[in-house]
Chain A
Amino acid sequence: MAALLLGIVVLGFAGTIGLLVITAERVLIGRREEQSAIRRLTPAALAVVFEDGTEFPVLSRPDALVFAALLGEFSAQVQGASHDRITQYFEAQGHVRAAIAELSSRRPWRRAVAAYALGDMGSPASVGPLVAALDDERRDVRSAAARSLGQLGKPEAVEPLVRALSSGQIPRGVVCRSVLLLGEQAVPRLLPLLTHAEPEVRAVSAELIGLLGGAREAQQLLARLRDTSAAVRGRAAIALGRLGASDAYSGLDGTLRDRAPAVRAAAAEALGLIGNAAAFAPLREVARTDLFEPARAAAYALGRLAPDLLEAAASEPGAGRFLREAADTAALRARAPA
């Protein structure tokens, strides 16, 4: 009986090993075939990218998949006429139409793959369907759609992306990357969102304008320093600092007395970035007397604004620990090797 059981165990073990070997072999063969197809098809794919009037090759289904994947990879790296030719290929071969149809698939992974692929295909026809996919019930589909809208570079995607972000439907990093990919052309779409009914939309818009805009956007951001939401006031202050808007000084000076400590800290940081010498006295006062977060931010802002005066300010009676810390940090940095 024991020998029989042992035999069954040994046979089962050997069978499992055999299956694993066969599976591994098939995977290796599949990879080798794919690598071979990539090498074989790369010249034709490059011709599509670079040569006007190139006839699109007629391919078997497996080769067509490899070819599409190659063009998808090239698409992410090029712009201009080369990118347009890749889009023409995907449109002419029916890939765009098929992927848009897949966005309605009952299987979530197929919707996610289609949403991702549409970004590399680059067709303007996919903007509307991808915006609709931002409301998909599955997070991975929504994220893929957000990523692809950034790849497509169409400013009409800005508002739905920011709304999706503020509602927490899509990871912050994905949406911000997409809007940043749009660059300056996103700014005119972001400005009206500064007065949106949702505070989170206003806050995100202010932050993105700080990253993408210029000094000409300072007035709209200054108005947000009086927003009812502390999150909006804080992000507007940071944005003004990033833009380096010199005429923002008076608004930010008042924000140093905001009722929310985090907003006062943001204003202090912004004043340090802008570098207006008139901010020295109010920043020193905040550094000496305010709570932890704004006091510390003000002390470090002074280090940026007037490093030569920081040590003297830190040595005054009643200077407090934050000015001392900022002065010591500045001295350490000055001594550190470049």
Chain B
Amino acid sequence: MNAGTDAPLILAADDDEIILGLVVYRLEHSGYRVITAHDGEEAVRRARAERPALAVIDVMMPKLDGYEVTRLLRAHEETKDIPVILLTARVQEADVDRGFEAGADDYLRKPFSPQELRSRVQALLGRS
């Protein structure tokens, strides 16, 4: 499915090309436009420049981790309302809490279900 120019824009950030490819494929084939970033700094830069409707951000990334990216997005007027889904390989409740404290709206544990990713994205975009 090709996304139209009025389709919501989503930022996908992960330093793992395999996971990034899977996330991008799922989102593009669900009708969204997708931009990508391979580290935390690039994620913040692209979010500020392109104002996506939502961001899917890996927790463990070079330069800035997902928590820090989320905090920086929340700290700036132009990006503070972007819904954030964190992708995390960590399974402890404390890490989930940390994500919510940083300002994330939802999280997905890796390995992730692409179908679940689509549902969470739809839910957040419907809400926002």
Contact = CB atoms under 8 A, between A and B. Distances in A.
Contacts of A74: 18, 22
A50 B29 contact: yes
Interface in A274-312: none
Contacts of A42: 21
A212 to B, nearest CB: 10
Contacts, number: 42
Nearest to B116: A80
Given A73-B18, A74-B18, A77-B19, A46 B113 contact: no
Question: Which of under 10, 10 to 19, 20 to 34, or 35 or more describes the interface residues of A?
Answer: 10 to 19
Contact of A82 (B18, B19, B91, B113): B113
A81 B110 contact: no
A46 B111 contact: no
Interface of B is mostly: helix
Interface string A50-77: 1000000000000000000000011011
A78 B116 contact: no
Nearest to B29: A50
A46 B115 contact: no
A122 to B, nearest CB: 11
Nearest to B92: A211
Nearest to A153: B111
Contacts of A77: 16, 18-19, 22, 110-112
A218 interface: no
B114 interface: yes
A220 interface: no
Interface in A173-226: 180, 183
Contact of B22 (A78, A180, A183): A78
A79 interface: yes
A79 B114 CA distance: 8
Contacts of A50: 25-26, 29, 114
A54 to B, nearest CB: 12
Interface in B72-128: 91, 110-116
A157 B26 CA distance: 32
8 contacts: A49-B22, A49-B25, A77-B19, A78-B112, A78-B113, A82-B113, A82-B114, A183-B91
